[in-house]
Amino acid sequence: MKSEIIAVGSELLTPYRQDTNSLYLTEKLNEIGVTVAFKTVTGDRRKDLVNAIRTALGRVDILILIGGLGPTEDDLTREAVAEALSLTLRRDATQVAALHARAAAWRITMPPNNLKQADVLEGATLLPNPNGSAPGQWLDVTFADYRKLVMLIPGPPHECRPLFDAECITRLREIVPARVIAKRTLKAAMIPESQADKLLAPIHTTYPDVETTILAHAGDIQLNLICVKSSQEAAEQRVDELASRVEEALEDWLYSSQGESLEQIVLYYLGLRQATLAVAESCTGGLIAQRITSVPGASRSFLGGAIVYSDALKAAFAGVPADLIAQHGAVSAEVAKSLAQGIRLRTGATLGLGVTGVAGPTGGSEAKPVGRVYIAVSDAQKNEALERTFRGDRTRIREWASQQALDLVRKRLM
């Protein structure tokens, strides 16, 4: 069955705000075998909204309207659906009482306008909204001789998403022909994009029944595999088969077969080896530590480290000798190695990571252009540095450098 999601709100037509609820809803709809054929964003003008609703009812079976259910005069979704489908709106006494009770509980005086949230479309089922004042509504109607399902869902994400899961998906499951879905997310680090294409295209194109989406970002490639079948076993078998072939092709570029992040994998291997990590970051300025510590429980294997932006701090926190910097420059393989070893010895960690580079936009030279980064990993056995030159702006260079650094730690632990 085909669906359309209409996100309602003038703020979603500015350069500053974007509808993100639809991504969440799309995932849930796809899981029960409903495709999203159109997404529309419309403002708070009633005429535009009615137009969008009629257009959608003419081209899909399931219409989901998000937003415009609040108490202000700009909230017109109920009124627009009534107009588009020629339905009446009646004020529901139970809902009016609930609104009064809610206002009393919050000790606020309710403006009369608020009562419009109690307006219910003719024939609609109310969908309880435990996280807000406006309930959702569910309509099962006939439009131009076809059966149409129409859902009105509140816009704030913490109201929209739980309500959609609890009320809409459960109802849709009973109506949509039963299908099951198997999913898998694989991830690989630092594989050149052209190489990834060359390796992957011949594989996944031979599985036309598994939908494969490939997302690339700053040294990270994510493959989402989705297969919809009438039996769980059949769907999972196809996904597993394709996943195995992808895993084999990606060799040790692959770091995750179940969707974990690179920082989660690094922490996993550290735990497995009963090892600890400390970092000394110059050009990445805390980004690597920040990524690692974003994972709950990181403190079990991550000790911390130093952000050594100045030469003085490279000496003070990681013991980098001043004459080493004078001889090779702060951005050099030698200083990266000294940072890695120094932070390891100072902190007593099993592994030390050192990063130094030119993040730009200034500070580059012919010998060491903007984007040049040196990354070293030191342990009791060895201390090796890698030289890379990344392209892009300051943000992208730092992202690439942090990705390469985490991947280097992962490889040392494997």
Site for a copy of itself in 262-291 (CB under 8 A): 278-279, 281, 284-290
| Binders of a copy of itself in range 336-395 (CB under 8 A) | 346-348, 359-362, 394-395
Smallest separation (angstroms) from a copy of itself to the CB of 410: 19
| Closest by CA position to 376, among listed 281, 305, 310 | 281
Smallest separation (angstroms) from a copy of itself to the CB of 40: 5
For a copy of itself, the binding residue among 1, 24, 156, 386 (CB under 8 A) is 24
Looking at the Cβ atoms of 285 and 321, the one nearer to a copy of itself is: 285
Smallest separation (angstroms) from a copy of itself to the CB of 124: 25
For 379, the 3-state DSSP assignment is coil
- One character per residue 42-81, x = contact with a copy of itself (rule: CB under 8 A): xx-x--x--xx--x---x----------------------
Q: Exposed, middle or buried: residue 309 (CB in 10 Å: 0-12, 13-18, 19+)?
A: middle
Number of residues that bind a copy of itself (CB under 8 A): 73
18 binds a copy of itself (CB under 8 A): yes
Looking at the Cβ atoms of 398 and 412, the one nearer to a copy of itself is: 398
For a copy of itself, the binding residue among 305, 342, 352, 357 (CB under 8 A) is 305
Residue linked to tokens 């809610």: 102
Buried (b) or exposed (e) across 254-274, using 16+ Cβ within 10 A?
Answer: bbbeeebbbbbbbbbbbeeee
258 binds a copy of itself (CB under 8 A): no
| Binders of a copy of itself in range 82-141 (CB under 8 A) | none
Measure the CA–CA gap between 112 and 171, rounded to whole angstroms: 33
CB-CB contact of 121 with 81 (8 Å) = yes
For a copy of itself, the binding residue among 170, 231, 294, 327 (CB under 8 A) is 294
Q: How many CB atoms lie within 10 A of CB 133?
A: 20
- One character per residue 314-333, x = contact with a copy of itself (rule: CB under 8 A): --xx----------------
Measure the CA–CA gap between 67 and 78, rounded to whole angstroms: 10
Looking at the Cβ atoms of 124 and 377, the one nearer to a copy of itself is: 377
- Stretch of 105-113, 168-176, 227-235, 308-316 lying at the interface with a copy of itself (CB under 8 A): 308-316
Looking at the Cβ atoms of 111 and 361, the one nearer to a copy of itself is: 361
Phi, psi (rounded to 5 degrees) for 53: -65, -45
Sign of the dihedral defined by the CA atoms of residues 233, 237, 240, 246, in that order: negative
For a copy of itself, the binding residue among 101, 216, 312, 414 (CB under 8 A) is 312
| Closest by CA position to 354, among listed 380, 335, 382, 330 | 335
304 binds a copy of itself (CB under 8 A): yes
Peptide bond into 202 cis (omega under 30): no
Smallest separation (angstroms) from a copy of itself to the CB of 245: 21
Q: How would you list the strands of the sheet with 180-189, edge to edge?
A: 210-217, 220-229, 180-189, 254-256
Looking at the Cβ atoms of 137 and 404, the one nearer to a copy of itself is: 404
- For residue 48, how far is the Cα from the chain centroid? 31
Three-class HEC string of 45-107 = CHHHHHHHHHHHHCCCCEEEEECCCCCCCCCCHHHHHHHHHCCCEEECHHHHHHHHHHHHHCC
Report the interhelical angle of 394-413 vs 262-272 (nearest 10°): 30
Smallest separation (angstroms) from a copy of itself to the CB of 267: 12
β-pairing verdict for 277-281 and 220-229: unpaired
Smallest separation (angstroms) from a copy of itself to the CB of 20: 7
For a copy of itself, the binding residue among 1, 38, 180, 386 (CB under 8 A) is 38
Smallest separation (angstroms) from a copy of itself to the CB of 96: 25
For a copy of itself, the binding residue among 8, 34, 36, 152 (CB under 8 A) is 36
Looking at the Cβ atoms of 44 and 119, the one nearer to a copy of itself is: 44
Measure the CA–CA gap between 220 and 192, rounded to whole angstroms: 10
List all residues 6 or more positions away from 250 whose beta carbon is below 8 Å from its beta carbon: 186, 188, 191, 196, 199, 200
Looking at the Cβ atoms of 121 and 279, the one nearer to a copy of itself is: 279
| Binders of a copy of itself in range 188-227 (CB under 8 A) | 213, 215, 222, 224
